[in-house]
A and B are shown apart, each in its own frame.
Chain A
Amino acid sequence: MSAEAAAWLLAAVALAAGALAWSSARRARLFERLHAETKLRLEQLQREFERFAPPDLVERLTEGRGDVAPQRRQVTMLFADLQGFTSLCDRLDPALTVTLLNDYFRHMSEAIQRHHGHITELVGDGLLALFGAPETNPWQCRDAVLAALDMRAALAAYNAKLRVQALPELRFGVGIHTGEVIVGVMGAGELNKFTVTGDPINVASRVEGLTREHGVDLLITGDVRAELDERFRLREMPPVNVKGKPEPIRTYHVESIAT
């Protein structure tokens, strides 16, 4: 091969190598951009999803970790319900009703999250918050009661604002119970959700219902009381028979906490 041919061949090889390198680099850049966009979309989706389920759970699901299957564990449940809100809805403008409700839920949610709880259900003007699920929490009863006291303070502050605007004030009832329940993602077909099931959840709901009967805003059961220290000022309520329970339920009104 002549020197000239060799030079041409060398140049052609160098050109081909350069083209190949350029093409690979371009493909790598494209891949990186695609990855960055996908990652951004996933993060946006994750943030949106966190409005519907506890962040820990969302993380477990998006990371494909298989630890969301239902399991039995100790959980403290807090039911809160607005009293007289249904009749209020009939009198108020629908847009105003929704604004009131959204503001109320926002204040309650902040109080619950401050004390390591997660809202898992919103039904009408009621909510269910869990303490000790999805992640374990050795101080779940204490946290639930502190959250309820914070909710009481937040509602009082919100009512002060409503008074200034000449709007009707809100009143709630809160019931707290603790017990072993089945917790996890449940559902069928296209509708699944993170929730709890078991008898303690019914008790918590009944206790919330008893707040009307006793004329107080915040009730806990004896099982919750057993986990609290003496700083919590409690008043024992008369035992009451409730649907589905052979024995009357003994509850305690949480008056305050000593600071």
Chain B
Amino acid sequence: MTQELNEIPWSEPLLPPDIDPAWEAELKRRGGNGSEVDRRIAPSPWLREACLGINTGQASEIPAHLFNVAALVTSQENACRYCYGANRAYLKMLGYSEAYIRRIETEAHLAELNDKERALIAFCRNLARSRPRPARAELEGLVRLGYTLAAAHELALWIALGCFYNRVTILLAVPPEQGFEQWVLAKRFRLMLMGPVMRLLAERRRRGKRDPQATAETLGAGDYGTVLRPLAGLPGARVMKGALDGAFASPVLSRAVKALMFAIVARSLDCRPSEAEARRLLAAEGYSEAEVDKALSTLQSPKLSQSEARLLPWVRDTVHIQTAQAQSRTRELAAAIGGPAALEAIGVAALANATVRLAMLLE
């Protein structure tokens, strides 16, 4: 059962804002908005890049309208107060009426949609929820309804990236953008008049061309390359690639714990290819098959430091995320391992969830 915006429990922020003037200037230059999220993830270079990539991301295969609807539905399904509120306000800024947004939220709209649009919304909900776990057949279902394979892949990519962003903001308990939400509310009549123009501008901003640099070879090289390879040419693919490369190269947490976190998310969602890839990474870190088996069945590994060992039982609660419980457990984790490590862990957990969700569809 999805929750209404005002029903979503939300705690105090996990971390204080970290103002980095150089990064804020860079953000503005590259079209970012210097949000509450940006200020809290600034200390993690790969995480802030990934979030900026998502905020300024473009789609070449799906229309901007569906892109926006998918973002709203995904954040609602993940019960992310921050993203859900921001997506709602953004749609209103583009001139969508409250009644229209309500219809999407309450699914009354479904009756007025054609099969293709209805399938798209159902796909968003199913992939975000992943209970029961979706599979390749759902992606193929979209193709049967008339979407191109590239469009279906792009949609899956942006839902996965939405799940990533939602988890970052939920686990950090980023304070909602109430200033923006209230501004939109106050200017609603003016925005309804200006909506078509705003929508045109926003659509132009979101409309991207196929990315010639995102080749199958480029995407396929590196950790979890098999998941990225089918996304060749999509403008959002390099956001995901950058996040994976950055996360695994980051020195804040060991590669072993990151691979174990991916493996635990994969096992939670019963995604064997993702678990196999994590096992390959763990073998490179000196883990035997028996040690991986033991770590995955007990959520413990004697090879990890005491603080990193805490991440294994914690990460499983990020899969089928329950907002209040996840925020409370993340607070306990941050108290034990410190802010910088917690921020990194949140990024890795969010990325593991996004990657495994994509991988499930390609199995």
Contact = CB atoms under 8 A, between A and B. Distances in A.
Contacts of A55: 1
Nearest to A141: B297
Contacts of B299: 139, 142
Indicate the size class of the contact surface on chain B: 20 to 34
A136 B271 CA distance: 13
Contacts of A139: 297, 299, 316
A212 interface: no
A185 to B, nearest CB: 16
Interface string A34-69: 011001000100110000000110110010010100
A219 B79 CA distance: 38
Nearest to B132: A67
Interface string B1-14: 10000000000000
A213 interface: no
Contacts of B39: none
Nearest to A137: B268
Contacts of B103: 32
Given A32-B99, A35-B106, A138 B267 contact: yes
B232 to A, nearest CB: 33
A36 B4 CA distance: 12
Contacts of A229: 294, 298, 300
B332 interface: no
Interface string B102-146: 110010100000000000000000000001100000000000000
A135 interface: yes
Indicate the size class of the contact surface on chain A: 20 to 34
Given A32-B103, A135-B131, A142 B298 contact: yes
Contact of B270 (A46, A47, A58, A136): A136
B316 A36 contact: no
Contacts of A135: 131, 320
Interface string B251-284: 0000000000000000110100000000000000
A228 B106 contact: no
Nearest to B103: A32
Contact of B131 (A32, A43, A56, A138): A56
Nearest to A42: B1
A43 B132 contact: no
A227 B297 contact: yes
A243 interface: no
Nearest to A146: B313
A179 B300 CA distance: 23
A227 B316 CA distance: 17
Contact of A138 (B106, B132, B268, B294): B268
Contacts of A91: none
Interface string A182-203: 0000000000000000000000
Contact of A39 (B106, B298, B316, B320): B106
Nearest to A39: B106
B104 to A, nearest CB: 13
Contacts of A163: none
Nearest to B325: A114
Nearest to B329: A114
A35 B108 contact: yes
A228 B268 CA distance: 18
A62 B102 CA distance: 20
A189 B316 CA distance: 39
B300 A231 contact: yes
A35 B107 CA distance: 10
6 contacts: A32-B99, A36-B106, A47-B1, A55-B1, A59-B1, A229-B294
Interface of A: 32, 35-36, 39, 43, 46-47, 55-56, 58-59, 62, 65, 67, 114, 135-136, 138-139, 142, 227-229, 231
Interface of B: 1, 99, 102-103, 106, 108, 131-132, 267-268, 270, 294, 296-300, 316, 320, 325
Given A36-B102, A138-B268, A231-B300, 10 more contacts: A32-B102, A32-B103, A32-B108, A36-B108, A39-B108, A55-B1, A65-B132, A114-B325, A227-B297, A229-B298
